[in-house]
Structure 1
């Protein structure tokens, strides 16, 4: 009998698993997998498999590219082994926000591929869809992006070295108040992270005495932002605070802000990742002066970032480093350190990462032992030009060591 023979019924069953049927069937399948792994000898323990679920096709395929390139850069610097273990990353395409697909892929990776760790997850619904699976299988799962605060509360096996929207939007509100902005319209994509960004910004802004003149929630698939821009103009606030998932919609919103001359009307732009490095050159000089609060800029000055950027450029000359890149790079680091401490022991790996600190290309970071979420610097940035004339997000103010304010809410 081959090593995967015991898992064949599980593989056949995975296509029909839904809702409450997952738990009992998956529990039996995982028990079979563990029995096979126990009897398959030392060779299995020498190889650590990491399943990475990413959008590699469709409008958000850039994330898949950014993740895989950054992981390759991490392995180029740190090697492909940890102690006696060889680390292999296995990629699966989620195609975008698709919880059913994410759950099916996670199930396939855990049962058929027998991965020891999971990583990736750009979208909150996809991450939440696998919570029950990883709880059953005790598979440490490292969130490379999905940014709604509640995620780490849904399973003890989630670790998030990326960010949350509360973590960057509340500092943006505090900076706005400190710089004389007293009225704001919020305009966010109408899904979990967008609502988190709106809530975080509003809580901090109103706590400091600011006024939210209007709260606009835009369908995730919006392509025509002109009606929303007119709504903002009609309110005549000091600023508009925006959140959209990085990709075509973000580019469209910033473009519409410029084309409708909101800045000329005295309405400042405040955001988080809307001036992402992958879209800056396309936005052109009209992006100059846009202000954002975020946890990384490729223009960050540090030895760690210089090494990351130079390695990435050497491996992939056309690569553009951005927040997704550094999050995957740090996600790989977390996985390596869990393997170093615990090998294939999932619960021990999670315990080992709690409280872990390191110097990332973004700056000093720590995994909070209670929330399993990263504590990190948040940088206030403005779109500017470097000495070569390239558009960059220039950091000009640092808010040090910010936790996930959505879970530790002081407002």
Structure 2
């Protein structure tokens, strides 16, 4: 074989290979270092589990996830990563985004590049209104806070103090809870906005105790802040003073065992617990633990798992055509490990069950968020507000 013929044959084979299969790239921007690195870990294990169950190809095209570390709340870093992933790496989709400011920072970029972007976490309602290329299969704070407020008032809780981290999701949690609680006839005695970097919650607990409410409703980002808050709630004697703790992700599984008995009896409203009883969740957990025996699954694990599902369905329907991919998932329905879900065709946000939960010990003595009441098919109440 002549050199020219060999080169021509190699080129033909390369072209043939390209005709049979492509690599579709997904850039994931998430914290993989620093105090919020657990989100990056949970996102990776969720995506790993989805690909282990459903494969690494969609209709013959290989799906490759490329990861970038956003650290914490860092909009400039998120924007820089998005530009680099789109321009240099040539990604077809973006995903991840733990924090709202980071997600909002890429809205203009994805509009210009028409890059479908799947939010794995960032939970402020306004995000999907900032770009038509955002899809969010995670949750919002309105979505879980308002149902909790209605449930709490129905249990005889008449007066509350609200304490939230002072950034967009915290303000959404505060507004959602207050709106629904007051609409039900309850009274908010005080509202406390705590700096995001707070580590000492004792002064805030004293302020709650002085107000004398039936309950304190809290929202803080999962991880070290929630651990410190729940510990301070107990250390400062609020349970003994008759102040019930209500929350959303404050009893996150990644810190639950470390909290120990301090978490028992805390009521939360959320969209997923690993304790959820369904065949889909059982299969999800089985594969997760097969791949990662030491994993601690939580809400962000399943959000990334479902985020991967949305990406696969967009690829299946539209390949790398961004606008067509967004249209294809409007109204998409499936059974998630968390229960039945749908992407709202108007808001591009997930409609899902919200579960009222209590921290208890299971049959093996492990602390779990035990679901005992279901509010079905809740939309993003921050965008679809009936109060």
TM-score interval, smaller chain? over 0.9
What is the SS of the residue equivalent to 1:149?
coil
Q: Which residue of 2 aligns with 1:95?
A: 71
Unaligned segments of structure 1, at least 5 residues: 1-38
Q: Which residue of 1 aligns with 2:377?
A: 401
Deviations 1:47-101 (A, max 9, x none): 1000000000000000000000110010000000000211000000001110000
CA contact (8 A) 1:173 1:205 kept: yes
The normalised TM-score by structure 1 is 0.90
Q: Which residue of 1 aligns with 2:200?
A: 224
Residues in 2 aligned to 1:117 and 1:204: alpha-carbon distance in whole angstroms:
36
CA contact (8 A) 1:45 1:344 kept: no
Residues in 1 aligned to 2:300 and 2:39: alpha-carbon distance in whole angstroms:
7
Residues in 2 aligned to 1:355 and 1:151: alpha-carbon distance in whole angstroms:
18
Q: Which residue of 2 aligns with 1:177?
A: 153
1:61 to 2:32 alignment:
no
Residues in 2 aligned to 1:295 and 1:217: alpha-carbon distance in whole angstroms:
24
Deviations 1:12-70 (A, max 9, x none): xxxxxxxxxxxxxxxxxxxxxxxxxxx9x946971100000000000000000000011
What is the SS of the residue equivalent to 1:341?
helix
Residues in 2 aligned to 1:123 and 1:317: alpha-carbon distance in whole angstroms:
28
* CA drift at 1:376: 0.1
Runs of 4 or more consecutive aligned structure 1 residues displaced over 2 Å after TM superposition: 41-45
Q: Which residue of 1 aligns with 2:293?
A: 317
What is the SS of the residue equivalent to 1:296?
coil
CA RMSD in angstroms, aligned pairs only = 1.3
Deviations 1:189-241 (A, max 9, x none): 00000000000000000001100000000000000000000000000000000
Residues in 1 aligned to 2:272 and 2:351: alpha-carbon distance in whole angstroms:
13
* CA drift at 1:261: 1.4
Deviations 1:130-180 (A, max 9, x none): 000000000000000000000000000000000000000000100001000
Unaligned segments of structure 2, at least 5 residues: 1-14
1:244 to 2:220 alignment:
yes
The normalised TM-score by structure 2 is 0.95
What is the SS of the residue equivalent to 1:250?
helix
Q: 1:381-392 to 2 correspondence within 5 Å? A: 381-392=357-368
Task: Report the count of equivalent residues.
Answer: 373
2:303 counterpart (311, 319, 327): 327
Q: Which residue of 1 aligns with 2:354?
A: 378
Residues in 1 aligned to 2:18 and 2:51: alpha-carbon distance in whole angstroms:
24
Q: Which residue of 2 aligns with 1:128?
A: 104
CA contact (8 A) 1:270 1:292 kept: yes
CA contact (8 A) 1:144 1:324 kept: yes
Q: Which residue of 1 aligns with 2:135?
A: 159
